Amino acid sequence: MSNYLSEKARGLIPYVAGIQPQEPGWIKLNTNENPYPPSPRVLEAISRADIGRLRLYPDGDSNTLCQQIATHLPIPAEYVFAANSSDEVLAFAFGGFFSGKANVMTPDISYGFYPVWAEMYDAGTNIMPLRADYTIDPHAYKGADGVILANPNAPTGIALSLDKIETIIRQNQDSVVIIDEAYIDFAAVESAVNLVETYENLLVIRTFSKSHSLAGLRVGYAVGQPHLIDGLQRMKNAFNSYPLDMLAQMAAAAAISDRAYWDETRSRIIQTREQTSYRLCELGYPSLPSQANFLFVRAERAKALYDFLLEHKILVRYWSKSRLDQFLRVTMGTDEEMEAFLSCVKQF
């Protein structure tokens, strides 16, 4: 560690993302990317772009993109904020709504980045254990200074129904409740976007990385009442006035305009998930009931299975933490990739 590091930087424990091997030949089921390419409209939009305009700064508020997102949901455009990945939107939200608070509730098993932002923005967390069956107990989330949870949750894949989300929002009306819907497009439950016009303390955060096949483009957004959107804009303008480049804005708008393609690819992934879960169960590896684009697969010898898959150039995710170390998180690939994965598991 450099002697020049600030005390703040020394104290941080950064998030560790899944491996991104840069050489070909891997079956990559470790970072919940979409196995299908983005909508053909994305290439079309980027090819059509006036490259001469890249000498100018882009629209710092991504208005055209926000309008397109608003049309897709649908919701008024003043309820939408876009930035450079949902990770960035989440960071702005932690800074804007949780900084300095003492009792920000979040599940013990959830997205590993939440405690990192809490540390970064000096938010005290109240880590809420999942129940024995790995579900969130909505009644426990009461009187918080802030709530952050993923729905469906990661890495469990388990989703809460909208009435349970509403319970949490109602029990915490004096603080902001953030629902991270990175995986909602693969779920059968209703989105919390449907509650945004009713509750002034609800912020829903989403990404183009998973259901729009654009993890490499880095685009995320938030949906909330205009006073919360103002709060995010305030944080953005204290950090980076132009978080989304011109090409990313155009490409993301093109992707979300192609509803038919989005619907087809997400249905295919849901179908692959159901088939894979069934076949893994037959092999003696049951999964938690997932509503995301991955399965959290129970395996007594999870680490050994992880290593075996790795030897066969199949990447999945494993955490050597209590309550997680008897599972592997497996992203849904193409049917062909899942065949290769299943035959490797069978061999093991």
Residues interacting with ligand PLP, by CB under 6 A?
Answer: 32, 85-87, 111, 150, 154, 180, 182, 207, 209, 215, 220
Distances (CA, A) of 292 to 122, 172, 273, 323, 330: 31, 26, 8, 20, 11
Tell me how crowded residue 67 is: count the other CB atoms within 10 A of its CB. 14
Q: d(Cα 20, Cα 317) in Å, to the nearest integer?
A: 12
Closer to ligand PLP by Cβ: residue 164 or 218: 218
Nearer to ligand PLP, 30 or 209 (CB): 209
If we measure between CA atoms, which residue out of 196, 204, 255 comes closest to residue 232?
Answer: 204
Beta-strand relationship, 314-315 and 27-28: parallel
Shortest CB 297 distance to ligand PLP, Å = 17
**Smaller CB separation from ligand PLP, 244 or 250:** 244
**Minimum Å distance from CB 152 to ligand PLP?**
9
Of 319 and 348, which CB lies nearer to ligand PLP in the complex structure?
A: 319
The residue length of the chain stands at 348
Minimum distance from residue 150 beta carbon to ligand PLP (Å): 4
Q: How far is the CB of 304 from ligand PLP (least distance, A)?
A: 26
Q: Closer to ligand PLP at the Cβ: 111 or 141?
A: 111
CB of 214 to ligand PLP, least distance (A): 9
Distance CA 97, CA 82 (A): 17
Considering the complex, what minimum distance in angstroms separates the CB of residue 280 from ligand PLP? 21
Closest separation in Å from C-beta 311 to ligand PLP: 27
Nearest to 158 by CA among 179, 189, 129: 189
Alpha-carbon gap, residue 97 to 340, rounded angstroms: 45
Q: Give 202 or 345: the residue with its C-beta nearer to ligand PLP.
A: 202
Give me the half-sphere count of Cα atoms (radius 13 Å) on the Cβ side of residue 111: 22
Please tell me the number of Cα atoms within 13 Å of 134 on its side-chain side.
21
Residues 6+ apart with CB under 8 A from 135: 158, 160
Q: How far is the CB of 86 from ligand PLP (least distance, A)?
A: 3
Phi-psi region of 323 (alpha: psi -120 to 50; beta: other; left: phi over 0): left
* Chain Cα centroid distance, residue 240: 22
- Of 215 and 254, nearer to ligand PLP (C-beta) is 215
Nearer to ligand PLP, 87 or 185 (CB): 87
Strand partners, 177: 147, 202
d(CA 17, CA 67): 31
Cβ closer to ligand PLP: 30 or 86? Answer: 86
Q: How far is the CB of 177 from ligand PLP (least distance, A)?
A: 15
